[in-house]
Chains A and B, each alone.
Chain A
Amino acid sequence: MNLLLVGINHRTAPVEVRERMNIQEARLGSAVSDLAHRDGILEGMILSTCNRVELVANAREEVEAAPILRSFLAEYHHCDLAPFEPHFYWLRQQDAVRHLFRVTSSLDSMVLGEPQVLGQVKEAYATARRVGALDGVLDEIVRRSLAVARRVRRETAIGSSAISVSYAAVELAKKIFGSLSGKTIFVIGAGKMSELAARHLLRSGASAIFVSNRTYERAHVLAQAFHGTAIRFEELFATIDRADIVISSTGAPHFVITKEQAEKLLAARKNRPIFFVDIAVPRDIDPAVNELDNAFVYNIDDLEQVVEANRLEREREAARAEKIIEEEITRLRRRLATRELTPTIVAIETRLNRIREAELERFGGRLATLTPDQHQAVGALTRAIQSKILHGPLTELKDGADRPEHGNIVRLIRRIFGVGE
């Protein structure tokens, strides 16, 4: 295989450059087809997202693919590539494979462990297949990278914890309530952040939502959007005991919920837990409420702390993910090497076998006096000699797959045994 990968990502290029190099989804199919059908290129794939643009190609042996990829990009974008060159990274062979594996497993993403990139790679793969740009080694490598990404997500916790404040709120709610189905949300103060948190909670299974705001109309609008109920601010405490999760973000300068009020709430709820998400500054919920049994108050700093702790956890998991990826690269390399060698091994064995059988026939006359048993022994003898002779070269072929001069060794052995290049 002769792999070359060229790309830019959010680390090597600012957004203006990424914009310029971006290949739109609508034109992706024809672009990949163009790339893969260029002279010297056997297979190709293009991944173009808001954070990266990458081309990967499998070229014919002996072909230097870099100028081909460059001219493709220059022609596609109708521009001179020179000003953008410093942002490109070029990766070959195993490095390209490693990069593909890492990208698909979200190890190269802006947010470690984010789930979108796997879907993006899947789509890029589907498009390339559709236009016939993937039908060999590269096809297998991309398929493998999708499988590796799934393995990484399965065996590490890299993608399983919340990376934003609103997701952190959902995560915490689940730690308290287990499943969110049947749980009620109460939003006090209809603002952007509370809306976001409520949306995530509803999407994660919460069933009912009440919205209350100083100005009733705003509460009504938000409640409608969520198919919930608007509550007048004055009547807040009449209904709020039905809430399992309270999201508060009013602009009030004082506490909206004091410790005494929370005690009453808990009593009304027969001590069923309440989760207060206080995203207001100044705070809406008296922090002393957290001292009550079965009341949990998280303000914006606390949520950030959770996100940060999760980020650290993800980085730890990333180390394990890298190990898995190295394992997979070795496995893939061995598999590809064995596959490439099979025609050679078969050819050599066939040729030697023909020689053996031809000589047996030639000596047929002199062997005629042998008993059938002895004849069999001679056959076995010649086969044994053949396989012992072959053992050395075959081992060399299989074990040397990692070495750079391997290609030359294969060619040499083929020449020596007379099976052609």
Chain B
Amino acid sequence: MNAGAVLLWLAMALYALGLALTVPSVARRRPLLSPSALGALGLGLVFHAASLAVRAAEIHRLPITDVRSALSSFTFLATLAFFLVYLRYRIASLGLFMLPLVLLLTLLSALRAGSSFESPAFRSGWLLVHIASILLGYVGFFLTFIAALMYLIKSRELKSKNPRGFYFRLPALDVCDQLYYRSLVFGLPSLSLGILTGFVWASRTWKGPWELDPKILASIVTWLIYLVLFATRLSGNWGGRRSAALAILGFVAVLVTFLGISMWSGLHGYFPNLGGGN
């Protein structure tokens, strides 16, 4: 295992430790996470950044052009987002919602064989902006999904009049809504930029009906779902259950577009068939 991989595994171990350490705080309804939990997660973030830096040095550009690195970059950004949101809103249970998926995706990235595929097309600035904006968009939508989930659970428990597990451990509805709104404001423009730059790059690089590539179609569907969510939110507070269902669907679309289609898309997967090999 090279240095980058070792650093990534260390980061994962620290994330797992941090996640485990958040459980007592949430179980005991403490308003804040313990310093040890935050410390473990913070240190994990540092190692994660280091592993990405090593990868970047290996390939002489941003570590986002192969699935493994892109996944790793995504989870790094997601953990960074977790810290920013936690510091701003002090939601102790946020870790429980965000970190398991982060951990899983990081594990996925560590397990995949690294791609050494090279192509002059990868040097393109358009491509890098494209991937980077898409990743940022996905992070935003991840937060949107989490916020919607928290809002839904809290709203349910408030209506049931029967305070149960999360009643005491979730932030106020208003806070969930703020997070929902702001993450949309961040995510949608990012994704839009990503899709646009993607179109520009594709039109310069590929011939043939690349518009029909499954990944591109899937990402447009994702974009549409989030556009609807955003429009609904703008015209009024989102109506609880319906919007929640849509937010969950939207995130599923994100996951499918990000991970699933990478495997299938001949053209667009991270194993593009540009006359080269895998």
**Which residues of A does B touch, CB under 8 Å?**
157, 172, 174-179, 267, 269-273, 290, 293-294, 296, 298, 302, 305-306, 309, 313
Contacts and interface: CB of A to CB of B under 8 A. Distances in A.
Nearest to B232: A271
Contacts of A267: 236
Contacts of A294: 155, 237, 239-240
Given A293-B241, A294-B239, A302 B161 contact: yes
A271 B174 contact: no
A271 B236 contact: yes
A177 B163 contact: no
A313 B167 CA distance: 13
Nearest to B176: A178
30 contacts: A157-B29, A175-B154, A175-B167, A177-B173, A178-B171, A178-B173, A178-B174, A178-B175, A267-B236, A270-B236, A271-B236, A271-B238, A272-B236, A272-B237, A273-B174, A273-B237, A293-B155, A293-B240, A293-B241, A293-B242, A294-B237, A294-B239, A294-B240, A296-B159, A302-B161, A305-B161, A305-B162, A306-B163, A309-B163, A313-B168
Nearest to A306: B163
Contact of A176 (B158, B162, B240): B158
Nearest to B234: A270
B119 interface: no
A176 B173 contact: yes
A201 to B, nearest CB: 15
Contacts of A273: 173-174, 237
Contact of B172 (A178, A270, A272, A298): A178
A272 B171 CA distance: 17
A294 B244 CA distance: 13
B158 A177 contact: no
A152 to B, nearest CB: 14
A309 B163 CA distance: 8
Interface string B221-242: 0000000000000011111111
Contacts, number: 55
Interface in B133-171: 154-155, 158-159, 161-163, 167-168, 171
B239 A290 contact: no
A270 B158 contact: no
Given A175-B158, A176-B173, A298-B161, A270 B239 contact: no
A269 B158 CA distance: 20
B71 to A, nearest CB: 34
B235 A175 contact: no
A267 B29 CA distance: 35
A175 B172 contact: yes
A267 B239 CA distance: 10
A305 B168 CA distance: 15
A176 B237 CA distance: 13
Contacts of B241: 293
A33 B239 CA distance: 66
A259 B175 CA distance: 27
A177 B174 contact: yes
Contact of A177 (B161, B172, B237, B239): B172
Closest CB pairs A-B (n = 7): A270-B236, A293-B240, A178-B172, A271-B237, A178-B174, A271-B236, A293-B239
B238 to A, nearest CB: 7
A174 B29 contact: no
A63 to B, nearest CB: 45
Contacts of A290: 159
A290 to B, nearest CB: 6
B163 A176 contact: no
Contacts of B171: 178
A306 B158 CA distance: 11
Nearest to A272: B237
Nearest to B174: A178
Contacts of B162: 305
Contacts of A174: 172
A249 to B, nearest CB: 19
Interface in B18-37: 29
Contacts of A271: 236-239
Contacts of B167: 175
B235 A270 contact: yes
Contact of B173 (A157, A175, A269): A175
Interface in B259-274: none
Nearest to B161: A302
Interface in B195-254: 235-242
A224 B1 CA distance: 75
B63 to A, nearest CB: 38
Contacts of B29: 157
Nearest to A297: B159
A179 B89 CA distance: 12
A270 B28 CA distance: 36
B148 to A, nearest CB: 13
B106 to A, nearest CB: 32
A172 B157 CA distance: 11
A304 to B, nearest CB: 10
B100 to A, nearest CB: 25
Contacts of A177: 172-174
A273 B159 CA distance: 12
Among B154, B238, B240, the one with the most A-chain Cβ atoms within 10 Å of its Cβ is B240
Among B174, B238, B240, the one with the most A-chain Cβ atoms within 10 Å of its Cβ is B174
Contacts of A293: 155, 239-242
Contacts of B159: 290, 296
Contact of A296 (B158, B175, B237, B238): B158
Nearest to A309: B163
Contacts of B172: 174-178
A382 to B, nearest CB: 49
Nearest to B157: A175
